[in-house]
Structure 1
Amino acid sequence: MPYTDPQHRSSKKFQTAFSILILLLFLGTIGYKFIEKISLLDSIYMTVITLSTVGYKEVVPLSPEGKIFTIFLIICGVSLAGYSASSALAYFSSGEWKENAERKRRTKMIQQLKNHYIVCGYGRTGRYVVEELKSEGQSYVIIDTDPEKIAHLTASGELAILGSGSEEEILCEAKIKEAAGLAATTSIDKENILIVLTARFLNPSLQIVSRASSKNFEDKLIKAGANRVLLPQKVSAWRIVSMLVRPEVADFFCEVANVEGTELVVEQILVDKRSSLVGQTLAQSQIRNNLNVTILACKLPDGTWTHSVGGKTVLCPGMTLIALGSRENLHKLLKIANPQ
């Protein structure tokens, strides 16, 4: 059964009723003017009191033709009132008004988003992406072409938009110009290419990560504008081989996420020029001692990486720190490195 937007159904009913009312007003005015030979204002007046069945006195005695015409208008007016009343009753009793209010609330929430993430495609990969974004405490919007998925997502309180991520108006509705990143996670590589192309055109500085099902499309997605491309099968194979060949290392990375009940994560932190860390060495900054955060590597402003980070490493503006620690401590370091 095809999906029909409840708001569209209700709007169409009220538009139909309003259109019929305008038509009857027009026909009634023309009819009274030519049948009874009265002025335009009197014709409008007669039409309104007849359709509304208020029972006010006629402006002139009606001719037999005028009486028949009046009967016709009264029947039409009563029928229109009944149709409007039944439409309104169905609208409120079905709960569509609640759905419309919720839809407007979600639209308003999407319009207020900033530095959020857009997930295009809520399939197997997209679901995991959403779960991870949620666990990271990030704001996100889901875009999918399946009406049933969108209905389920919105019913569960998610911000979701029905449509294709390759359409400019859909991405604009998801506030792509204010977004921090986009994940193209549909199962169709050609669709992901279109999504990446459109997203890159609308936001040249956007961080874009795309899924690819075959190696043949990896280079094409990069050329289309993706910053990173992942092949799920390749990533799974790499993890499987790591567990087979280096099981202790794999176990370490699995265990490091939950040491003594404190979740450890690896985060990238940009050192702002206003930060008190600028000009200090790592040893002077006391990041390790005060925050219990370990700096694993750093990326210099010119894009080169420094993996041999030590106490003598000097922190400079524009440097990106790759840090390991708890979410709470990393958040504290973020405030120091990038003061608002």
Structure 2
Amino acid sequence: MRKLGLGKKDMESQIEAEAQQLVEIFASEKGQPFDPSMAIINSVSNVICAVTFGQRFSLEDENFKKLIEGLDLGLKFIGSFSHALYEVIPWLMKHLPGPHKQALGISDMLFSLAKKKIEQHKEDTSYHEPQDFIDFYLLQMEKSKNDPNTTYDEDNLAQCIHDFFIAGSETTATTLKWAILLLTNHPDIQDKVHKEIEDVLVSSSICYQDLKKLPYTNAVFHEIQRSKYILLVGFARQSTKDMNLRGFCIPKGTIVIPDVRSVLFDPVQWETPEEFNPNHFLDKEGNFVAREEFLPFGAGARVCLGEQLARIEYFLFLTNLLRAFRFQLPEGVKELNQTPIIGITTPPHPYKVCAVPRHSP
């Protein structure tokens, strides 16, 4: 992931291009109420396509449409009652109709797409001058082909690509949906963020390093992720040795599911844990304060490997949108619903906003 240039200009320029495309899609709504969800998912998924395949897809591409629809349906299935049944009695569920059949078909579609792209990369031998994740992986396979203990193979590569799309698109897209919702419900905070961006960033282009110059914006973006943590619980881990934690024995091999919310909403650590309050990340002078208790990406050796990519996407997408539009409630709507849908992820309920251009073309 580091070799792909995450945090470097090449990758940022690709994300910036997707952000501009999203701005154009929002602008086409001409300030009328619309649901931003699908446009956000398309743009974020295209970033994953660029990282993985070295190309983006046209929004009209039929394969891309099927991919996005499949991801949406698959993520709705994960954590559902049908999914629980499939995990408990797979031998029986394989013979019964239901949404699990559709979910398995979606997974097969993703694997099929991954393997097709792998074959294309092998045929043009581009991996000797690697440009994307598949290139780097194939090159590593070639380097380790004489190692009897290597774990690098095409099936594993296809699984990695599958996981990229499942883990890398929904998470960032959900965070952006929450960001637009919260800033629409808090126009005073939205306007303050816009003012800081306009006062500090003189160039029309934006880079991730600009975040250091924007303490209030940085605080708001962190508070969105804290107050609307997008997972129900943290990802499962396994204890590598016997250990004693505050009087409790955790044997080696124990599956541990961290309750990250207990930290993000701890009343001892946060002044108003249940409220959307950017001051949680600001000192008395208005400087940004990094908090040890801010754990949406996890912690330690198994911290989210896509954290840097997610941070860059989040900043560039949201900053470009806030520069271009003021997000407002549709006429007659007093407030957007801030109660999450409970599942493996916790997205907002579908909503509509008005993206009103801040400047005429």
User: What TM bracket, shorter-length normalisation?
Assistant: under 0.3
TM-score (norm: length of structure 2): 0.21
Structure with the greater relative contact order (CA < 8 A, sep ≥ 6): 1 or 2? 2
Larger Cα-atom Rg: 1
- More strand per residue: 1 or 2? 1
